[in-house]
Amino acid sequence: NAGVTQTPKFRVLKTGQSMTLLCAQDMNHEYMYWYRQDPGMGLRLIHYSVGEGTTAKGEVPDGYNVSRLKKQNFLLGLESAAPSQTSVYFCASSTQGGWGPQHFGDGTRLSIL
Amino acid sequence: GENVEQHPSTLSVQEGDSAVIKCTYSDSASNYFPWYKQELGKRPQLIIDIRSNVGEKKDQRIAVTLNKTAKHFSLHITETQPEDSAVYFCALYGGATNKLIFGTGTLLAVQP
């Protein structure tokens, strides 16, 4: 049982490039989330999904897009990367939405030059 | 929107001492309050949580207290050990927001 798996673990991009971060969970969870973590700012929600085929905006959605075509996968896209998007990105999933434990992946460290 | 303030941002204690981290919030409709621990370079993990119908919850050396009237909740760690060194995040859910809102974190250092 792998839990929540994020791919890749590290990535360096140039400004203006695009990329997709993949999150996969094998716990049959309905809810999935993408957060970014910056020093001194905690975890900020980018986008989330309450089930297959649904997505919604979080606190800091600008510059990101997401898709949840399959229940087990939640993709985060950066269309045109900017240095301000340098961060550690965490994916999480849960069975109870905000009411219960969120299970996090190991994170993706993304640097935009 | 809802906001949660967490203090202190850093905390250094001697091994064996107690540590207390406090979070305050504004939306009285918030009703779920988890705490996450994140070791250096690792993922955040839930360590304890409390719901609004309970004033205190304990799990071995950790406890969480909730004061709904004053709108604050606290994490208490007793008999601290070096492996307790980590960043701790409070969070809350409920009320006007449909999302889990995290505090900015407290870096706890337990000195041996």
Ordered per-residue pLDDT tens for chain B, 112 residues: 568 999 999 999 999 999 999 999 998 888 899 999 999 999 999 999 999 888 999 999 999 999 999 999 999 999 999 999 999 999 999 766 667 899 999 999 999 9
Q: Are strands A10-13 and A108-112 parallel, antiparallel or unpaired?
A: parallel
Q: What are phi and psi of B109, to 5 degrees?
A: -115, 120
Pick from B89, B99, B105: which is nearest to A98 by CB? B99
A90 touches chain B (CB under 8 A): yes
Q: pLDDT higher for A40 or B25? A: B25
Pick from A42, A45, A48: which is nearest to B105 by CB? A42
Beta carbons within 8 Å of A49's beta carbon, 6+ residues apart: A31, A32, A33, A55, A56, A66, A68, A74
The one-letter amino acid code at A94 reads: S
With CB atoms and an 8 Å threshold, state whether B9 touches A40. Answer: yes
With CB atoms and an 8 Å threshold, state whether A41 touches B99. Answer: no
Confidence (pLDDT) at B95:
67
From B2, which residue of chain A is nearest by alpha-carbon distance? A59
With CB atoms and an 8 Å threshold, state whether B94 touches A102. Answer: no
B98 touches chain A (CB under 8 A): yes
Confidence (pLDDT) at B108:
98
In contact, A56 and A45? CB cutoff 8 Å:
no
Q: pLDDT higher for A52 or B1? A: A52
With CB atoms and an 8 Å threshold, state whether B43 touches A41. Answer: no
Beta carbons within 8 Å of B45's beta carbon, 6+ residues apart: A104, B36, B37, B38
The Cα of B4 is separated from the nearest Cα of chain A by a number of Å equal to 11
- The yes-or-no verdict on residue A97 having pLDDT over 90 is no
With CB atoms and an 8 Å threshold, state whether B89 touches A98. Answer: no
From B51, which residue of chain A is nearest by alpha-carbon distance? A99
What CA–CA distance (Å, rounded) separates B93 from B25? 11
Q: Judging by beta carbons within 10 Å of its beta carbon (0-12, 13-18, 19+), is residue B90 exposed, middle or buried? A: buried
A88 touches chain B (CB under 8 A): no
Q: Are strands B72-77 and B62-67 parallel, antiparallel or unpaired?
A: antiparallel
Q: pLDDT higher for A98 or A29? A: A29
| Tokens matching residue A83 | 């240095």
Other CB atoms within 10 A of residue B70 CB: 8
What CA–CA distance (Å, rounded) separates B1 from A63? 21
Weakest mean pLDDT among A11-20, A97-106, B40-49: A97-106
B2 touches chain A (CB under 8 A): no
Beta strand ranges found along chain B (DSSP E): 4-7, 10-14, 19-25, 30-38, 45-51, 56-59, 62-67, 72-77, 86-94, 97-102, 106-111
Q: Of B87, B92, B60, which Cα lies nearest the Cα of B76?
A: B60
